[in-house]
Amino acid sequence: MGNSSTNIKSKATLKEYSSSSTNIIMYPDFSQGLHMWQPNCNGCHAFVVSSESDYPEAFEFMLSCRFAVVKNNITNRVSAGSTYYVCAWVGILSAYHRVAAHVEGTFVLSTVPHRVKFYLEGPSPEIDLLIRSVLVSSLKDDNPWFDDGLNNWSGRGCKIVLHESMEDGKVLPIFGKSFVATENRTKNYYGIQQEITGRVQPKLAHKVVAIVRIPSGNSNICSANVKATLWDYTAGIGEQYIRIASAQATIHDWVQLEGTIILINSCPKMVIIYLEGPDPGTDILLDNLVVKLAPKSLQSPPNLSDDTDGWFPKGNCTLTVVGNGSPRVLPSMVRDYLGPHEPLSGRYILVTNRTQTRMGPSQMITHKLKPYLTYQVSAWVRIGNGAIRSQNINVVLDVDVQPINGGQVDINDSKWHEISGSFRIENQPTKAMVYVQGPDIGVDFMVSELQIFAFAKSDPGSLAGTFVKIKQTQNSFPFGTCVYRSNLTHKEFLDFFSKNFNWAVFENELKWYWTEPEQGSFSYKDAEDLMNLYTTHNIQLRGNCIFSEVQSWVRSLSNDDMKSAIQNRLTSLLTQCKGKFKYYDVSNEMLHGSFYQDRLGKDIRAKIFKTANKIDPSATLFVNDFNIEKCCEKYIEQILDLQERGDPVGGIGIQGHMDSPIGHIVSSTLNKLGTLGLPIWFTEIDVSLNNEYVRADDLEVMLREAFAHPTVDGIMLWGFWELFMSRDNAHLVNAEGDVNEAAQGHVNKQDEFEFRGFHGSYEVEIVTLSKKKLGKTFVGDQG
């Protein structure tokens, strides 16, 4: 293997790769001096030194300064949603210290901002910062199935050619539309290669999967050993070859080559993966090659390679495995977490002869679940024959006879749709089963790639006995909670509210059944008492809500009388409270209830919005609903329909009563809703769990994702004080007024306390075991 890459060992070739196409930083090793770099400090001096200098461990070129910022705008070189790997060779130099090290990590941009800068900083002013080289590279896959032709691929010592077929149509691609073949291989180490610098993270296991074969050609060779090899070059260490895997390829069929790699050296300057092996004259065919992080967990249920082994019908339906036809790629939400993946099998389960809605494929998973782990659910599903209306497909976990919703989707076409969800259990089950159900009796449906896997979270570290307190003294981001008439004389509640929130929403006091419990009997006293208290203290108010639950006297009205009652409700409320509420949730939970529409026709919703806007044009009108992560597309369709009818929909409300939230599911939902161009508010966030530490983790997920997303303009909690919550085990403050663990954070593995705070002013206090106190103030401005 030592002589298998003489054409890339020279310094000229290494320089050619130093500004590799995978590196988004221009001139990362200062080979062109300070071109595209600039110092960003008052009075500091930046200069480039060579290997002849007295600086330690210099490698050709090196930048020396206090801290530096990339001068060129890299906005166009990054994209939203991609994970980027960062690695820098750095050092410090002072009269007492000469240290060189690697700095590495990853980041994701939820959206692309107007300007993106990369910089290194940190040492004290008297210490020089040395920068040898910088790598920032996307971890995404690079054309693994040749969908983009030969882009990012090249021949290693030979020519490579893209084919749609060979040998008069006898050789066809397995996945995609094309495959690649070498031509004129004259060395056994010649073959097909791709540079993957930055896509493999040091000291993490990566799985490599390739589909290969050899052509029949003119030789008498019927099989040959094809090898996958990794070559990397690390400055100061040199080059190394890592054997990944091999497979005996034949002229008769495609075979899979599979192995695992781990890069031991941090910050390699260049990494190439290539296929080699057969004797000269025997070419290599490659259908696809995928490099991805090794699976984070065992997936369950199993695939369908052994027909329905492991699966059984729930009820007397029929399960049949179909060999191909389902999507070959992972659903988007699981793809965001697991990263690049080899193509899926295309197999799926067809469910027929259903005589009950609960009938479908099922499997026992009792011993695969553990308490307090967050599990993500993902699957492809599709409706088959027999449907005459929109159908709901639902993944259910039956845990000790307690059903848990693992995700659902409404389908009104013949396309494949993604189901995504999450769940958590609090006790080790004695019996746990997963099954798919939902469509009407007689309606066939299909399920492919149902996966359940533990969603990994980093474990907190420990600074034993150290107490960190961060207090926000002024908040500029809309952050509020629901309040109640019964809290008006609760001094401790009001004190806590005034120190932590700047918005309020009434839990019930504005709702129709509260202000008009009997027809014609109006009472706004409770709402007015709350309005007077909070507006006096400059607290802004959200109106929850104009229409929600339907009281019995409304249900008993004739259609004409009901229309009059609706008009009276709008006039009474919006006149009485005109100018008091900046936002109103108009007709609550329209995805999950349609009483007025069923009785009065679909146009009644449009009429309500238009009338409300006419009476109080100063208020912004919101839609508001729950379980949006499970029915986002349906929510978007509803909003677009309202807009097409001329409704003044000014914002989108997401209630946020989520169990076992997963960050990228929340973020993906916000991304989809963000395409509508309307402001989004989380209107009723709470998380319910008896374990306060896990409850804290769940709440952190919700608040981080909400605050980080550019379309979210405000966040409302649905309570915080025990005994004043709509859900048990969701409070942050105990009945006695003590903040519980659900409202506190923890240090990480690096003994750092990290938190994401709203814009505003803060005080931080650290108390060590020796009772020493350290204090600091800072301001978090909007960037």
pLDDT band at 2 (very low <50, low <70, confident <90, very high): very low
> Does the residue 621 lie in any domain?
yes
- The phi and psi torsions of 592 (rounded to 5 degrees) equal -115, 5
Report pTM: 0.57
- Which domain-ending residue is among 111, 138, 165? 138
Do residue 645 and residue 541 come from a single domain? Answer: yes
Whether the per-residue pLDDT at 304 is higher than 90: the answer is: no
Do residue 130 and residue 159 come from a single domain? Answer: no
Do residue 131 and residue 161 come from a single domain? Answer: no
Alpha-carbon distance of 470 to 753, in angstroms, equals 10
User: What single-letter amino acid sits at 384?
Assistant: G
- Who has greater pLDDT, 259 or 335? 259
Tokens coding 609: 């919005």
At 690 the pLDDT is: 86
pLDDT tens column, 66-77: 444 434 456 667
CATH assignment of the domain containing 121:
2.60.120.260
> Does the residue 772 lie in any domain?
no
At 423 the pLDDT is: 92
Cβ-proximal residues to 457 (8 Å cutoff; 6+ apart), any chain: 374, 697
* Cα separation values, 591 from 77, 395, 639, 664, Å: 40, 19, 10, 23
Q: Is 540 exposed, middle or buried (0-12, 13-18, 19+ CB in 10 A)?
A: middle
Adjacent-strand bridge partners of 11: none
pLDDT band at 295 (very low <50, low <70, confident <90, very high): low
At 639 the pLDDT is: 94
At 4 the pLDDT is: 29
> Does the residue 769 lie in any domain?
no
Out of 121-125, 211-215, 353-357, 464-468, which region has the weakest mean confidence (pLDDT)? 464-468
Count up the domains in the chain and report the number. 4
Catalytic residue among 418, 516, 684, 700: 684
At 475 the pLDDT is: 54
Q: Which domain holds residue 63?
A: 23-138
> Does the residue 15 lie in any domain?
no
- Who has greater pLDDT, 125 or 363? 363
CATH assignment of the domain containing 570:
3.20.20.80
Whether the per-residue pLDDT at 406 is higher than 80: the answer is: yes
In 3D, which of 747, 750, 727, 723 has the Cα closest to residue 737?
723
Q: Count the Cβ atoms, other than its own, within 10 Å of residue 431.
A: 11
Q: Give the DSSP H/E element, type plus range, for residue 567.
A: helix 559-576
At 6 the pLDDT is: 27
Do residue 516 and residue 571 come from a single domain? Answer: yes
> Does the residue 586 lie in any domain?
yes
> Does the residue 147 lie in any domain?
no
Do residue 502 and residue 635 come from a single domain? Answer: yes
Alpha-carbon distance of 695 to 699, in angstroms, equals 6
Q: Count the Cβ atoms, other than its own, within 10 Å of residue 36.
A: 15
Residues 372-391 have a mean pLDDT of 90
pLDDT tens column, 420-474: 999 999 889 999 999 999 999 999 999 999 989 887 654 433 344 445 454 544 5
At 39 the pLDDT is: 67
pLDDT band at 3 (very low <50, low <70, confident <90, very high): very low
At 50 the pLDDT is: 59
pLDDT band at 234 (very low <50, low <70, confident <90, very high): confident
Can you point out the beta strands (E) in 109-147?
A: 119-120, 128-138
Whether the per-residue pLDDT at 126 is higher than 50: the answer is: yes
* Contact predicate 182/214, CB 8 Å: no
Q: Count the Cβ atoms, other than its own, within 10 Å of residue 214.
A: 26
Whether the per-residue pLDDT at 388 is higher than 70: the answer is: yes
> Does the residue 306 lie in any domain?
no
* Contact predicate 341/330, CB 8 Å: yes
Alpha-carbon distance of 541 to 578, in angstroms, equals 12
Q: Is 434 helix (H, G, I), strand (E, B) or coil?
A: strand
Out of 113-117, 238-242, 390-394, 511-515, which region has the weakest mean confidence (pLDDT)? 113-117
Q: Is 282 helix (H, G, I), strand (E, B) or coil?
A: coil
In 3D, which of 73, 277, 294, 110 has the Cα closest to residue 204?
294
Whether the per-residue pLDDT at 305 is higher than 70: the answer is: no
pLDDT tens column, 633-650: 899 999 999 999 889 999
At 764 the pLDDT is: 59
Tokens coding 670: 């916000």
Out of 21-30, 261-270, 393-402, 506-515, which region has the weakest mean confidence (pLDDT)? 21-30
- Who has greater pLDDT, 573 or 43? 573
* Contact predicate 471/780, CB 8 Å: no
At 770 the pLDDT is: 42
Residues 211-227 have a mean pLDDT of 87
Q: Is 492 helix (H, G, I), strand (E, B) or coil?
A: helix
pLDDT, the chain, mean? 81
Tokens coding 645: 């009818």
Alpha-carbon distance of 255 to 248, in angstroms, equals 8
Do residue 570 and residue 671 come from a single domain? Answer: yes
Residues 577-604 have a mean pLDDT of 92
- Who has greater pLDDT, 23 or 306? 23
Do residue 345 and residue 321 come from a single domain? Answer: yes
Q: Is-catalytic flag, 684?
A: yes
Do residue 91 and residue 28 come from a single domain? Answer: yes
* Cα separation values, 312 from 434, 436, 446, Å: 11, 11, 14
> Does the residue 505 lie in any domain?
yes
- The phi and psi torsions of 77 (rounded to 5 degrees) equal -110, 0
pLDDT tens column, 729-770: 899 998 888 888 876 654 444 444 455 555 555 565 555 444
pLDDT tens column, 676-725: 989 999 999 999 988 888 888 899 899 988 988 889 999 999 999 988 89
At 37 the pLDDT is: 72
Alpha-carbon distance of 780 to 778, in angstroms, equals 7
At 527 the pLDDT is: 95
- Who has greater pLDDT, 99 or 592? 592
- Which domain-ending residue is among 103, 138, 173? 138
At 16 the pLDDT is: 36
- Who has greater pLDDT, 774 or 85? 85
Tokens coding 296: 């984070």
Residues 392-404 have a mean pLDDT of 93
Cβ-proximal residues to 484 (8 Å cutoff; 6+ apart), any chain: 506, 507, 508, 509, 724
* Cα separation values, 634 from 86, 596, 631, Å: 38, 19, 5
Tokens coding 780: 């978090």
Q: Is 781 exposed, middle or buried (0-12, 13-18, 19+ CB in 10 A)?
A: exposed
Alpha-carbon distance of 715 to 713, in angstroms, equals 7
User: What single-letter amino acid sits at 604?
Assistant: I
- The phi and psi torsions of 657 (rounded to 5 degrees) equal -80, 75
Do residue 483 and residue 340 come from a single domain? Answer: no
User: What single-letter amino acid sits at 459?
Assistant: D
- Which domain-ending residue is among 738, 758, 773? 738
The C-alpha R_g of the chain, in whole angstroms, comes to 31
pLDDT band at 659 (very low <50, low <70, confident <90, very high): confident
Whether the per-residue pLDDT at 593 is higher than 80: the answer is: yes
Whether the per-residue pLDDT at 242 is higher than 80: the answer is: yes
Alpha-carbon distance of 580 to 574, in angstroms, equals 9
Do residue 129 and residue 55 come from a single domain? Answer: yes
Whether the per-residue pLDDT at 397 is higher than 80: the answer is: yes
Residues 33-59 have a mean pLDDT of 59
Do residue 438 and residue 490 come from a single domain? Answer: no
* Contact predicate 538/532, CB 8 Å: no
pLDDT band at 403 (very low <50, low <70, confident <90, very high): very high
pLDDT tens column, 144-187: 889 889 988 999 999 999 999 999 999 999 877 899 999 999 99
Do residue 581 and residue 643 come from a single domain? Answer: yes
Whether the per-residue pLDDT at 293 is higher than 80: the answer is: no
* Cα separation values, 710 from 78, 324, 458, 630, Å: 17, 40, 25, 21
